[in-house]
Chains A and B, each alone.
Chain A
Amino acid sequence: MELQPIYIQILALVLFTIGLITALARRNVFFVLMGVELALNAVNLSFVGFAKTLPADLSVAGQIVPLFSIAVAAAEACVGLALVILIFRNRESVDSDNYSNMKG
C-alpha cells in the first residue's frame, strides 16, 4: 500500500467539513474564526496534494498558491479580530446570535 493522492484529498475534505461545522454550529465568535482558519488550512492541503500529481512545470503552482493563501488568511484573521474587538465594545458579548438587529 503506497500513499495515494486520494488519501490526501479525503483528509482535506474531512478537515474542511469539521472546519465548516465549527464555523456554523458554534455560537462563540472565536470558534467561528477558528473554523474558518481550519477550512482554509484544509484547502491549502488540497492544493499541495494536487500539485504532487502534476508534471514539473505545472507543479510549481502547488508551492506558490498556498503561500499566497496563507498570507491572505493572515490578513483576514487580522481584520476579523479587529472587527470582533469592535463588536465586543458595542455589544459586550461574544455570542454571535446576539449580534443581529433583525426581529424574529
Chain B
Amino acid sequence: MTNLPLWFVPLFPLLGTILLATIAIVSSGSKKGPSEGFVGALSVLFPVLSFLSVVLLAFGMPEEGIRQTLCNWIDIPMLKVDIGFLFDGLSRVMLLFVTGIGSLIALYSIGYMHGDRGFTRFFAYINLFLFSMVVLVLSDSLLLTFLGWEGVGLCSYLLIGFWNHDLNNCKAANKAFIVNRVGDIGFLLGMLCLATLGGSAILNYDALNKFIEMLIAGGHVDLAAPILMIAGLLFFVGCTGKSAQIPLLTWLPDAMAGPTPVSALIHAATMVTSGVYLLARLSRMFSVIPEALVIILIVGMLTAFWAAVAGLFQNDIKKVLAYSTISQLGYMFMAAGAFAFDASIFHVFTHAFFKAALFLGAGAVIHSLAGEQDMRRMGGLIKKTPITACVMIFSFLAIIGFPGFAGFWSKDLILERIYTNAPYGEFFYGAGLLTAVITAVYMGRLIIMTFFGEYRGSKESEEHIHEAPASMLIPMVVLAFGAVFAGYLWADSMGIKFFEHTLAPVVGDAQNYLVSKLDIAHVNPMTFACFGTAAAVLGMIIAFAVYGRTRIPRISAKISSAPEGFKADWTFFFDYIHEIFIVMTKVAAFVVDMFVDKVLQGIQWTIGAIVEIVGDGVSAFQVRKVRVQLTLSLIGVVALVAVVLLTGGLF
C-alpha cells in the first residue's frame, strides 16, 4: 500500500517516547514505579506498529521508491532544508530489520530489566533510539540524517550510562558520546564541503546523485574531484566514529557497561551500521573518487584484523562480542572499499541477526549466572540452559561462515568481491581469510568456554542456573532463525539474487561505474566457498584443540576480567594513542591558561599601576596650604591665556 504516509514510521516510536517519558516522570516520586506489564506492553506496541507500517509500505513499493516531503524545516537565504522522507530499496531493507529487531529486543528487555526501578525510563530511551534510527535511515537529505545520527549518539550515551549510580558506567557513556562527537565533526565538515560545491540544495540525496551524474556526463569530474575527495574522507571520519573503526573505536568495548539488550540493539544491529548505510547512500559520490574507497578498504582491513586478535585476548563474554562487532564492521567497510556496497549492506543485514542473537544469548547466560560475565568462571552450561546454547551455537556457525548459515553467504560474497575488484585483491583477500580464521578461533573459544567442559564457578551459583524466561527466549529463537535463513535472500551460487535486485536502483549505478573501469577475471564462486569453509573449519579445529582439550584452571572470584601484559597492550592500543592526544591538548591548554593568566594579569596590573602613578602625581598638587592651590589655579589661567595668545587666538 503506497498510500500510507511515510511519516507514520517515525511517528510511532516518537509517541512511545513521549508517553513513556511522561509515565516515568509522573511516577518518579513513587518507590516501586508503574506496573511493569502495562509499561512493557506499551513499549513493545509502538515498535511493532512501526514495523507493521514498514511492512505495509514495503509490499508495493515501486522500484524507484517513494519520496515524500513533510514540511519545511529551515528557510533562510543561505540554507533551505525540508523535512522529507525517502523510501527506496536501501531504506526498506534497513527499516525492516531495524524496526523488526527493535521490537524483538524490546520484548526481550521486558524479561531482562524485570525488577529494575528504571524500567520505564529504559523503554522511553529505547523508543527514542528507534525514532532517531528511523529518521536517520528514512531521511532524504544529509541534514536530516545528521539529526538522526546525533539522536542515536545521544541515546547511546543515555543507555550506556543507564545504571548511572556506578561511576564506570558514566565514564563509558561519556567516552562513547565524546568519541562519537569527534566523528560527527567529520560529518559536518563533509556536509560543508559539499555545500561549497552546490549550495545547500546538494544535501538532498537525489540532488547529490544528479549532480554527480551531471559531472560525469559533462566530463568535469576532475574539477570537483579534490573537494569531493575531501568530503568523502570527512564523511568516512564520521563513519569511523559511529561504526567504531580505526582510530575512533575505543568507545565500543567500554559501551558494554550498558545493559545487554542495549548492546544487542545499538552496538550490534543498528547504530553501528549507520556508518555503512551512509557509505551506501553516498555510493554515487564515492564512485567518482575511487582513491577514497581504497583508503576505506585499508582501514577496514586493519580494523578487522586488529579487532579479531583483540577478541582472542578478552575474558569477558561481552567484550569478546564487542570486538567481534568491530571486526565484522571492518568486513563491511572492506566490502564498501571493494566497490561492493550491496554486499556490505547484505552483511549488515545478516550480521544484525546473528550478532543480536549472540548478544541476547550472552545476556541470557549472564542472567542465569546472576551477573557473572567472566568466561573463566563459566562452563558446561549446555546441560542447564539448552535453548540458549542452541541459539548461540547457531549464531556461532553463522558468524564463522559455515556453509548453509547466513554468514556463509554474506561473508564469502564480500571476500569474493574483494578478490575481484580491489587493487592487490589477492593480498586483501588473504588478510580477510586470515581474519576469518581468527574469528572462528575466538568465537569457538567463547562457545567452548561458556557451554562445554565443567562448570568453573562457585557451588552456590551452580544451583541457581536456570533457563531464561519466555519473554527472553522468544526473541532469541526468532533471531536464531534469522541467523540461519536470512542469508538465503542472496544466495549467489544458488541463483537467488533477490537482495541484489532490491538494492540495484540505489547502488547499482555507482558499482557499475566503478567496476566498468576494471577488467574482472572470471572466477568460480565455488572456489571461494571452499576456501571460506576451510577457514571456518580450521578455526574451529584450532579452538577445540587449544581450549577444548586443555583444562582451563579455575580462578578465584576476585580476579578482574581485564586482560594483562601484552594482551592489555594490544587491546588498549588505541586508547594509548588517544591518551597522547589528550595529554597534548591538556599541555596546550595549560600553556595557554598560564599565558593568558599572566598576560591578562600583567595588563591589569599595568593599567592599575598607571592609574596609581597618575593619581599619586595629581595628588601631589593637593597641598595643605590653600594659598598654594589658589596660586596654582591662577597660574593655570595664565598658562591658558598665554597659549591662546601664542596660537593667535584673541588678538
Contact = CB atoms under 8 A, between A and B. Distances in A.
Direct contact of A and B (CB under 8 A): yes
A102 B627 CA distance: 13
Interface of B: 622-627, 630-631, 634
Interface stretch (A43-51, A62-70, A92-100): A92-100
Given A20-B634, A97-B624, 10 more contacts: A24-B630, A25-B627, A27-B627, A96-B627, A100-B626, A102-B623, A102-B624, A103-B624, A104-B623, A104-B624
A24 B631 contact: yes
B471 to A, nearest CB: 90
Contacts of B625: 96-97, 100
Contacts, number: 24
Q: Output the residue of B622, B623, B624, B630 with the most chain A CB within 10 A.
A: B624
Contact of B626 (A20, A25, A96, A103): A96
A27 B628 CA distance: 11
Q: Output the residue of A20, A24, A96, A99 with the most chain B CB within 10 A.
A: A24
A96 B627 CA distance: 9
Interface of B is mostly: helix
Contact of B622 (A20, A27, A102): A102
Contacts of B631: 24
Chain A's interface size range is 10 to 19
B623 A99 contact: no
Interface of A: 20, 24-25, 27, 96-97, 99-100, 102-104
A99 B626 contact: yes
Contacts of B624: 97, 100, 102-104
A25 B622 CA distance: 18
Contacts of B623: 102, 104
A65 to B, nearest CB: 23
Nearest to B630: A24
B622 to A, nearest CB: 7
A25 B626 CA distance: 11
B622 A24 contact: no
24 contacts: A20-B634, A24-B627, A24-B630, A24-B631, A24-B634, A25-B627, A27-B627, A96-B625, A96-B626, A96-B627, A97-B624, A97-B625, A97-B627, A99-B626, A100-B624, A100-B625, A100-B626, A102-B622, A102-B623, A102-B624, A103-B624, A104-B622, A104-B623, A104-B624
Nearest to B622: A102
B615 to A, nearest CB: 13
Contacts of B627: 24-25, 27, 96-97
Contacts of A97: 624-625, 627
A81 to B, nearest CB: 18
A27 B624 CA distance: 13
Nearest to A27: B627
Contacts of B626: 96, 99-100
Contacts of A103: 624
Contacts of A20: 634
